[in-house]
A and B are shown apart, each in its own frame.
Chain A
Amino acid sequence: MEMKVATVHIENRPYPVKEDENLLQQCLSLGFDLPYFCWHPALGSVGACRQCAIKQFKDEEDKRGKIVMACMTPAKDGARISIDDPEAREFRASVIEWLMVNHPHDCPVCDEGGECHLQDMTVMTGHTYRRYRGRKRTFYNQDLGPLVNHEMNRCIQCYRCTRFYRDYAGGRDLEALALRNQVYFGRHQDGTLESEFSGNLVEVCPTGVFTDKTLKQHYTRKWDFQTAPSVCVHCALGCNTIPGERYGMLRRIRNRFNGAVNGYFLCDRGRYGYDFVNSGHRIRQPALRKNRQAQLHAVTGSEALQYLAELLSTGSEIIGIGSPRASVEANFALRTLVGPGRFYAGVSERDGRLLASLLDILKRGPARSPSLHEVELADAVLVLGEDVSNSAPRLALALRQSVRRQPREIAGKMHIPHWDDHAVREVTQGESGPLFIATLAGTRLDDIATQTFRGAPDDLARLGFAVAHALDPHAPPVPDLPDEAGKLAHAIAEALKTAEHPLVISGTGCGNAGVIEAAANVAWALCHTGHPAALCFALDECNSLGAAMMEAPSFESAFGAGQGVDGNVEMPATTVILLENDLDRRADTMAVDRFLTAAQHIIVIDHTVHQGSARADVVLPASTFAEADGTLVNNEGRAQRFFQVFVPQGDIRESWRWVQDIMTLAGRNKGAPWLNLDHVMAACARDIPELEPILSAAPGSGFRMEGQKIPREPHRYSGRTAMSANASVHEPEPPDDPDAPFSFSMEGYSGRPPPALIPRFWAPGWNSVQAVNKFQDEVGGQLAGGDPGVRLIEPQSDSGVDYFRNVPPAFSRRAGEWLVVPLHHIFGSEALSVLAPAIAELAAKPYLALNPKDAAELGLAAEASVLLQLGRNDGADRGMDYEIPVQLRAELRRGMAGLPAGIPGLAGIMLPAWGRVAKKKSTRMGEGTAP
C-alpha cells in the first residue's frame, strides 16, 4: 500500500507519521504511551471507549484546541496535537474513573492480574482514588465450555470481544446484549463457544472477563512463568507461541506475534492442546525388556543405553523410521545413525507420495507458497479439497480477512480509511470477495463463500483441472464435465484472473494426488497467463514438509523390504528405531502388527505412549516441544526454531541426544559427537543442502546480548530461593543450556532480544499482551528486526514446467459400496492435542456421515447404528468392521460416506477407501470394534 509521510507536531515538536493512518497507532508507533481499550491493531478503530483522547489544535495560533479521539483521527500533514494537554489528561483520567466505577477490586484473585491492560492503563492515567459511592452493577456469568472462563462483572464494555469474535472471526454465538451500563457480552444461554478461535478472547479482552479456563486448573501469574519462544505442533501452519511453565508443568500457551505467520491470533487447538505435555500418557522413564513375553520395566538412562549397546553390537541391521511431528534435527539425527539408505520417512506410502508431489510442485513450479499474512492479502481464492477450518484453522481465519480485500476497495474509493472499522463495514455491508470452496462436505467457511462445490476427491480434482484449462488452453481439458461444473470452473477462472493477488489452496486433506495436481495446474495456469498466483498447501503435521525434504522412502517400503513372496514377513536380525511416531495412526493396523512382530528389536524414542511403544523392547523418553529445541518447517516452507521452555524431570531428553548416545555406544560417530543443537544443525546443513538455511532461522547457542544470555524467567520471577525449599534449603544452580542462547534463570540481558528470541512480550508500563506494541517498528506491523523464520523453498520464475495431465475419471457410485472419505475435525483429528483434557471434551465422536437418500435406501435413521466394513488396502478379504452411529449430511454426494479422520477409536484407517455399510440389528451404540 502506498503511504505518504506527513509531519505531525506533537507537543510542538515535529514527527514523521504515515499520512491518513490514525493518530493513536502513529503515536504508539512513535513510542508515546497513549492509553486505549477498544482499538486493536488487527480490529481497527471504532471510537467507543474514548480512552485515547488527545488535544488537536487548528494551527499554531490555536491555544484552546479541542479534544479528539486519536484512534478516529487521521494523521494529516501539519496537524498539531498534544497528548500532555491538561484537559486531555483530565479527560483520560475520567474515562478510567468511569470504567472503574463498576469494575470489581478483585485483582488479587483475578487471573488477569499482573498482565491486565486495564491495570496498565489505570496506572498510566494516574487514576488511584475511588470517588464513586454507589453500588456496582453485577451480572450472571455463563459456562462457556472448557476453554474460556466468563466473569462479566469485570467488563468495561470495550466491545473488543464481539468485534473479534463476530466481525473478525465470523462467530455467531457471542453477542452484545442489553444496553446502558449493563451491556452483556455473552451467549443467549450457557454453552460452549462455537468458534474455533474463542481462545483469542483471552488475549483480546483487556481485562479479566474472558480468561483461560485451562490455566485456571493450574494457575500461575505471568511473572512466575518460565517461557521461551516456541512453535505450535498441532498442525502444519507453524503459528508462533509462548508456552509458560512453572514447577515442571506446562500451564498455558500464549500467542507469540509473528507478522508473517499468525499475527495476533491462534486457533483453540493450538492454544489449548498443550496439556498433552502434562498428560499421564507421557513416557517419563526409560524402560526395557529382554524378552517379548516380559513386561517393560523402568530402568535408568544409563541402564537403557548399556542394554542398547549390547543389542547393537550383535551386528544386526538397524533401520530408522522418522516422523513428521519430530523436529528436523531429530529426524536428521536418526537418519545419520542408521544411514540415509536405511532411514524411512514416518509417513505411509500414500502420504509420502502426496508430500513428495506437493514439495516438487513448490520447488519446480512458478507459484509461490504464501505466508499466512500474504493469504490475508489475497483478493480471490479457490480452496480445492481442503476443509481448512479443521485441518489448518488459522488459515481459515486468514481467509476471513482476504474475502474483505475486494469489498474494501469501495471504502477506499470513498476515502474511508482502512482502519475506520465500522465505516468500512457499513459501506461494504458484509460483502465477500471471491472465495470458492470445493470440498468433500460442508465447511465452516461456507458462510463467506461465493460458491461451494461438493464432490468426491476425483470430482474436486476434475473441477480444478477444468479451472486450469479455462485459464490456459494448454492445460489439459476435462472430458465429460457436467455443464454446471463447467460453468463454475469458468466463474472461478474469471474471478482468479481478474484478481490482483489470486490464491489457490489445497492440501493432503482428502488424500488424493489428483486434487493436489489440479490445484498446481490452476496456480500455474494463472502464472503462465500473467497472473502471479500463490499456492498454499495445508498439511497434517508440524514438520510434514521438513521431514519430506529429507526425501526418505515411506516406512511401508520397510515393511515390503522384509516381506517374502508368501506374504510372511522375514526380517532376520533387523532392529527398528521408531522416532516419535505412532505407526498405527498411519497405516493398516495389521500390516504394522506384522512388521513389528517380525522386527527383532524395537526401540521407541517418544514422549507419549502408543501401541508401538507398548510393543517396544527399549523405550527412551523423549522431550516434547516444550522440553527441547529444534526446527520445524511449516506448510509455507518456513523454517522456524522452537526453544526449550523448561528442563523436564528424570531421564527425559531430546530425541537427537538419545540418538547421539546410541551412535557413540554403537561406535557409529562419523566425526566428533554432537554436543549441542548447533552441531546437529551444522551437520544437517552439510548433508542436506536444501536445509542449509535452517541455520539462520534463529541465532545459535553462542549468541549473546551484551555478553549475556536471554533469561527465560522474567525480572519479577518469584520464589526462586524457596520453590524447592521443601526438598533442600540450598538454592539449586540453574541448569546449563548448551543448545540455546537462553538461561534457565532471571539473570541475563534485559533489553529487547532479536525477533526469533523473544521469550515474552513485556515492557515497562506494559504488562499485558499489548506490550507487543513495544516490539514492533510500527504498531501492528512486523516485529522490529523482521518477522522470524526463514523460507526454504522459492518458486522457479516461470520455469516452463509442464502441466499435470492425469485427469481422473468422474466419480461413479458403486452398488452396495460407499467411498468412505476422511472428514477432519479441529478437535480430535490431531493425535497430541486430544490428550489435553479440555480438547478431549470437545473432540468429535465417531460417526458415519451419509447422504440422507443413501441412508433412507439403507433404511437408516439419524443416530441409528451401522456396521461399516472397510476393505483392506492390500485387497485381503478380511476387512475391518466398525459399529458407529449415522449422521445425515445432505451436502455429501450420494455414494460417498464420511468418517471423522484420526479421532480416538477410528485412528489408523487409510482413507479414502471403499466400504460396505449395513444396518445394525441391535441398537447398541459403540465405537470401532476390533477386527
Chain B
Amino acid sequence: MPDPSYYLWMRHFLASFALAVTPVFAVAQGAPLRVVATVDTLPNGLTLVIHEDHSVPIVTANVWFHVGSGDEKPGRTGFAHLFEHLMFMGSQNALYPQFDRLLEAAGANNNGSTTEDRTNYYEDGPSTALPLMLWLEADRMGWLLPPMDKPKVDLQRDVVQNERRQSYENQPYGLVNDYLPRLLYPAGHPYSWPVIGSMADLSAATLEDVKAFFRRYYAPNNATFVVAGDVKPDDVRALVRKYFSDIPRGPAIDRPAPAPFSVKDTAIVLEDRVQLPRLYLSWHTVRGWHADDAALEMAAYVLAGSRTSRLTQALVYTGEMATNVSAYQDGKRLDGDFSVVTTARPGRDLDTLRTVIDAELARLASAGPTTRELGEARNAIEASFLRGIQQVAGKADRLNAYYYQTGNPDSFQADLDRYNAVTAADVQRVVRQYLRTSRVMASVVPQGKLELAARKAVTP
C-alpha cells in the first residue's frame, strides 16, 4: 500500500521521483504472477539472486544489508542511516569520490536508503556497466575501512543533519515524526526512535562506532545481492564469484524478538508554523506477513484508499470538513502500526474530524466491508503493487524484500494470495481487534490555536 507519511531516508533526493503518470500492468487472468529468479550462495554466505529481463539493454544491481535503525544502540539513534552515507565515501581501491564518478562516466545512477530493518544500495545503468557496479560494491563490502577517517564521518554527519533539517524541521508538520515512534513503542523497542535519529545522537557518533558497525553488520553473510536486467546469468555468477569470493564471512547476528506490549492511550498537541491543523491517530498492530497484516491493509484501503472510501467520503466529500485523509498499515519486520492522518479544512477543528473517524471505525467494526468494497480493494492493491515492478529496478528491490521476508525472492503471487484470501469477516475482526483499542493521538495545530486540537484522549 502506498504510505503517504513514509519518508525513505536516502543518500540523496531524486528529482525523477516526480513522475506524473504511473501505469498499471496486470497479469493474464488465472496465470500466477512470476518473476523468475535463481538463487545461489557463495561459501562466504553472500546470497545472489538473478532475474533476466531483456526488454531494454539496462541492468540494476541491488544489495540489501540486513541491518537498519532497529539495530542501533542506545545513544546512537540515526547511526544506520549515517553509515549508509559513509558507504559512498570511498573504499580501498575506489577512493572518494570515485564511486560516483566512475558510475556516472558509465551512464549509471546510484543511491541507497535506510529503514528500520534494512539498508539498500543500488546502481542502474547500461547493461555493459555491470562489471563496474559489482567491482564497486565488492570493494566497499570488503575494504571500506582502510581509507575511512574522522573527517569523512564529520562531513556526512553534517550532511545527514542537513537532511534531517530539510525533512523534519523545515517541513510543515515534520516534527510530529519525532514523537510518534516513542509514544507508540516502549523504551528500548527497536522501533521506538525515528530512522533519522536525533541531532544529539548523530553528533555523538564516532569513527570507532563506524568500524564496529561495519565489522558486525557489513559482511557477505548479512547481505543479499540481486542482479536484474539484460544479463546472462552465468556471466553474472562468474563476475560475482570473481569480485566477492575473498570477502570474509562475518559474525552471525542474533536479533531477539521484542517483548510484547500494549500502547497506552496518549494524546499530544504540537504547535507548528502551519495554516491548517492535522490529526494523527496510530495503533499498535502486527508485523508484515503476520496473518492479520493483509486484512489490516485492506481495512486501510476501505477507509481511505480511494475516492469512494469511507473516511474520504465522510471527511472530504460528504462532510467537507477535511482537505485529505490517508490510512495505512505499516507492517515492518518485527512489529507494525496502523495510522490515520487527516488535515482539517479552514475553520474546522480536529475533534470534529476525530469524532467522524471514530464513528466510521465503529461502523466498520460492527458490519464489515461490502463485497464491492472488498473487490475494489483487492484490485487496487494488486494494481499498486504491480505498478512497482514494471521496471527492473523495482523488481530487483522487491526480489530482495521477499527474500528477506519469506526466504523466496519470487513471492509475488504468494503476496497477492494473502490479499485475495482476506474476507469481509477478517476485515471486520481486525478493525475490532486492533483499531478499537488504545492509541496514540497527535494534534498539530497552528501556533496559538490549541483550541483546534482533538480532545478525547481515551479509547472510545
Chain A complexes with chain B: no
Which residue numbers of A lie inside 8 Å of B, CB to CB? none
